[in-house]
């Protein structure tokens, strides 16, 4: 019984993720794309829960849905002439794009299905937050610190890039 519920939830989430991701990739309207992306991220978060990764799922919702997506929406709203839907999200070179996509998808799916993956014994669902914390401040401390420096420099770079250059008057509204 449990297995059936698990399967149903998985297939629903998978359909949601794949469907919305496909929409993101194909749709002509970029605003709709951005909203479809919400469903993709939420679906992925759900998959994380199924994979007993509670902390990652929560992070996914907080950072992706709450942060990244809002940023993307900002970018969309600020930059595109949304009213002109025709040009807001044109796509080009569809034929080679589709070709490469299909090739890659086929390879990956083939590998996923045919690969002999090592499978260890099942574990119970248990909270992972504490052990992630220990790992981050123990085994992965150096990468953690490096990432923090990277983020600092990245944000500083973002600020520098986004700052308005001083331009002659009248050049910019």
Partner 1 sequence: MTPGLPHFLIVGAFLFAFGILCVMTRRNAVGVLMGVELILNSANINFIAFAHFSGTAQTRIDGHVFALFCIVLAALECAVALAIVMAIYRNFNKLIDMEELTTLRE
Partner 2 sequence: MAHGMYYNSLYLALIPLLPLLGAIINGLSGAAIQARLDKSVIHVTAVATVVLSFVLSSIGFAKLALDPSVTAIHAHAWTFLAIGRLTVDAAFIMDRLSAVMCLVVTFVGSLIHIYSIGYMKNDPGYWRFFAYLNLFMFSMLVLVLGDNFLIMFMGWEGVGLCSYLLIGFWYKDINNARAGMKAFIVNRVGDFGFVIGIFLLFWTLASLPSGSSPVGHASLVFHEIEATLMNPAIRQAFTGNTLFHIPAITLICIALFVGAMGKSAQIPLYVWLPDAMAGPTPVSALIHAATMVTAGVYMVARLHFLFSLSSAAMTWVAIFGAVTAIFAAVIGFFQHDIKKVLAYSTISQLGFMFIGVGVGAYSAGIFHLVTHAFFKSCLFLCAGSVIMGCRHEQDMRKMGGLSIFMPRTNLAYLMACFAVSGFPFFSGFFSKDEILYQAFITRNMLYPRLGIFIWGIAVLAAFGTAYYMFRSYFMIFTGPYQGDQSHIPEEQSQTITFVILLLAFFSAVAGFLGMPEIFGVPNLFQDFLNPVFESSKPYLHFAHGSLSLEWLLMGMSVILALAGAFIASRLYKDAVHPLPEKLLFLENKIIRLAYDLIYHKFYIDELYQRTAVRLVMTLKNISNWTDQHIIDALVNFAALIGKLMGNAAGTADAKGVDGIVNAAADMVFTAGSGLVKIQTGRLRHYLGVALAGGGILVIGNYIFFT
* Residues found near partner 2 in the complex (CB under 8 A): 92-93, 95-97, 99-100, 103-104, 107, 111
> If DSSP codes are grouped into helix, strand and coil, which group holds residue 153?
helix
DSSP state of 35: H
CB 45 within 8 A of CB 60: yes
Decide which of partner 2, partner 1, none touches 18; Cβ closer than 5 to 8 Å per partner kind. Answer: partner 1
CA-to-CA distance for 10 and 5, rounded, in angstroms? 8
Decide which of partner 1, partner 2, none touches 150; Cβ closer than 5 to 8 Å per partner kind. Answer: partner 1
Decide which of partner 1, partner 2, none touches 89; Cβ closer than 5 to 8 Å per partner kind. Answer: partner 1
The length of the chain, given as a count of residues: 173
89 vs 170 by CB, closer to partner 1: 89
Extract the tokens encoding 86.
Answer: 């025709």
CB of 11 to partner 2, least distance (A): 28
Phi-psi group of 131: left, alpha or beta (phi > 0 → left; psi -120 to 50 → alpha; rest → beta): alpha
CB of 169 to partner 1, least distance (A): 16
162 vs 170 by CB, closer to partner 1: 162
CB 37 within 8 A of CB 20: yes
CB of 8 to partner 2, least distance (A): 33
CB of 78 to partner 2, least distance (A): 21
Decide which of partner 1, partner 2, none touches 154; Cβ closer than 5 to 8 Å per partner kind. Answer: partner 1
CB 65 within 8 A of CB 42: yes
């Amino acid at each position: 019984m449990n297995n059936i519920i698990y399967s149903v939830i998985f297939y629903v989430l998978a359909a949601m993720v794949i469907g919305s991701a496909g929409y993101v990739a194909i749709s002509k309207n970029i605003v709709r794309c951005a909203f479809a992306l919400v469903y993709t991220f939420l679906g992925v978060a759900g998959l994380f829960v199924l994979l007993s990764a509670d902390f990652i799922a929560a992070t996914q919702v907080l950072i992706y849905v709450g942060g990244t997506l809002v940023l993307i929406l900002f970018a969309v709203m600020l930059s595109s002439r949304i009213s002109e839907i025709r040009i807001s999200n044109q796509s080009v070179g569809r034929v080679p794009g589709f070709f490469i996509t299909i090739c890659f998808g086929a390879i990956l799916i083939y590998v996923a299905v045919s690969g002999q993956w090592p499978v260890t014994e099942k574990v119970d669902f248990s909270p992972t937050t504490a052990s992630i914390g220990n790992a981050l401040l123990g085994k992965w401390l150096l990468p953690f610190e490096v990432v923090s420096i990277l983020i600092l420099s990245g944000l500083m770079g973002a600020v520098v890039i986004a700052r308005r250059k001083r331009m002659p008057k009248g050049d910019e509204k």
